[in-house]
Amino acid sequence: MAEEKETTATVSPEQRTLEKLSVDIKTIGDSVEGLPEVVKAEVDLRIKAMNSDVKAFKEERDEKIAALEARLSAAIAAQTAPALGTEPREEDYGYGNEPGSLDEAIAEVRAAGAGMGIPARLKKMHEGEIERRDLSTLTGGDGGFWMRPQFSDQLLQIPPQQQWLSSLVRMLAATDPPNADFTFNAFDQSGAKGIYGGVAVYSAKELANVTKTSTPKLLQVSLKPEKVGVYWLVSEESSANTPQMGSMMQPLVNGAILSYRDDKIQTGTGSGEFKGFADSPAMLSISRATASTVNYIDLVNMLARIMANGGGSYVWVCQRVGLLPQLMTLTNGAGQLIWTDNARDGVPSPRLCGIPIFFNEISPALGSAGDLRLVNLDYYLVKPGMGVALKSDNTYANFLAGNETLRVTYYEDGKPWITSPLTLQDGTNTVSPFIELAA
């Protein structure tokens, strides 16, 4: 009995239909015995028609099953297919991903700049990037050659294990087209609106009217990527060492770009360049206890004014030469060193009151306003634009001097999106993601 149930459960609905039709046809055939020939002939025609329907049904079913099996086999093959990461891709334009691919592109740009013609793959890459970025200007003759995204990343990326403010900002996603203005709405938390001024919260009794609440306010934040240019001179003698020159160029250009970007994140004017946080209206200035000195009480007063619930991470920003001797010898009210208590372990890890320190060459000298800043760069936005274009320029002046000019251009914009210090719920005290010591 168990075997009979199991066999019945495995029969498909289509098979049951076919079996029922076969039984019906046999029953009809058995019943025509003894009937007049005219009636029997009519029944035979009906039986033939039914057999034809059954045959068509089976053929249609078999076709559907075969199609489903083919789709399933294709899906399984796609899931188990080997990775194709090493295969040439259309967007590589023939350069590949091996070390030295960027060097090859640089060499071909230089050859084109020297009037030796444009190699096919360089032209293909440039035209492919124009189409991909929906550009209508900046051809290879006047604006340089657009680099594929992998080459742009090599020149603009932040290397691992290196300390740059660029790694702390909030980087927005690229847009299409990449250089378009980017505007978004943010809660207006400025002035007396407070930290949570962009949201209205209320309580009410059951069946009671809701008391009037402050209406949430919005502000618009806009970023427009602007052109940034990087250029350097190459001597004729280096032309014979183009691959080596390219390998040396990439980290130097990358470092120069990151250093320039860090400078503008702090000090930019906002006119055709980043708007720096140093000149932000949201910057809170804290009076120092003693002129031209950093004291423990100064750190305490700065920490008291941070936006503790705003998200992100804070970092101290200052010069190493002028500030490190001050910070390493800071003492608390009991006269104890707060950073290190021995000289055996060397320079301590760069943390102060548990917060990382970012040493740089851009911050003001000791005793100046902003010589020590405490910032949360989650409130600083950077909008990338079009990637890197590379151009080689052999002008008459360069020819006379035996030089060649290489130029990299790219586009981006950045600014703080908090527009003023924020007032706490007490209506008096203010906090901010940007804090500095006054002069």
**3-state class (DSSP) for residue 223:** strand
C-alpha distance from residue 149 to each of 146, 154, 259, 383 (Å): 9, 9, 21, 16
> Is 100 part of any domain?
no
Please state, in angstroms and rounded to a whole number, the distance separating the CA atoms of residues 60 and 18.
13
66 lies in the same domain as 123: no
> Is 82 part of any domain?
no
148 lies in the same domain as 235: yes
130 lies in the same domain as 279: yes
161 lies in the same domain as 267: yes
Whether 284 shows a pLDDT value over 50: the answer reads: yes
pTM score > 0.85 for this model? no
Q: How many CB atoms lie within 10 A of CB 301?
A: 16
- What phi and psi, each to the nearest 5 degrees, are found at residue 402? 75, 30
Specify the number of domains making up the chain.
2
The pLDDT assigned to 246 comes to: 62
414 lies in the same domain as 312: yes
Q: Which of 188-202, 305-319, 368-382, 409-423 has the lowest mean pLDDT?
A: 188-202
Q: What is the pLDDT of residues 17-50, one digit of tens each?
A: 767 766 666 666 666 555 556 555 666 676 677 7
Q: What is the pLDDT of residues 136-161, one digit of tens each?
A: 544 444 568 888 887 887 787 777 66
365 lies in the same domain as 429: yes
> Quick check: 437 and 290 in contact, CB under 8 A?
no
> Is 25 part of any domain?
yes
**3-state class (DSSP) for residue 405:** strand
More confident site: 78 or 372: 372
Q: How many Å is the Cα radius of gyration of the chain?
A: 37
Confidence of residue 173 (pLDDT cuts 50, 70, 90): confident
Among candidate residues 414, 438, 415, 431, the one with its CA nearest the CA of residue 194: 431
66 lies in the same domain as 127: no
Give helix 149-156 / helix 242-267 axis angle, nearest 10°. 60
The pLDDT assigned to 64 comes to: 77
431 lies in the same domain as 373: yes
> Is 333 part of any domain?
yes
Domain stops at, among 55, 71, 87: 71
The pLDDT assigned to 137 comes to: 47
More confident site: 253 or 161: 253
132 lies in the same domain as 59: no
Confidence of residue 123 (pLDDT cuts 50, 70, 90): confident
Of the chain, the percentage scoring pLDDT greater than 70 comes to 66
> Is 266 part of any domain?
yes
Domain stops at, among 71, 99, 131: 71
More confident site: 7 or 290: 290
> Is 96 part of any domain?
no
65 lies in the same domain as 130: no
Per the prediction, the chain carries an average pLDDT of 77
> Is 214 part of any domain?
no
Of the chain, the percentage scoring pLDDT greater than 90 comes to 23
49 lies in the same domain as 124: no
**Structural domain containing residue 145:** 119-178+226-439
Ordered alpha helix ranges (H), 292-373: 296-303, 320-328
Please state, in angstroms and rounded to a whole number, the distance separating the CA atoms of residues 112 and 122.
9
> Is 42 part of any domain?
yes
Among candidate residues 307, 406, 386, the one with its CA nearest the CA of residue 133: 386
140 lies in the same domain as 41: no
> Quick check: 154 and 389 in contact, CB under 8 A?
no
Q: Which of 42-46, 353-357, 414-418 has the lowest mean pLDDT?
A: 42-46
For 293, the token pair is 């000195």
Contacts of 238 (CB under 8 A, 6+ apart): 245
Half-sphere CA count of 412, side-chain side, radius 13 A: 27
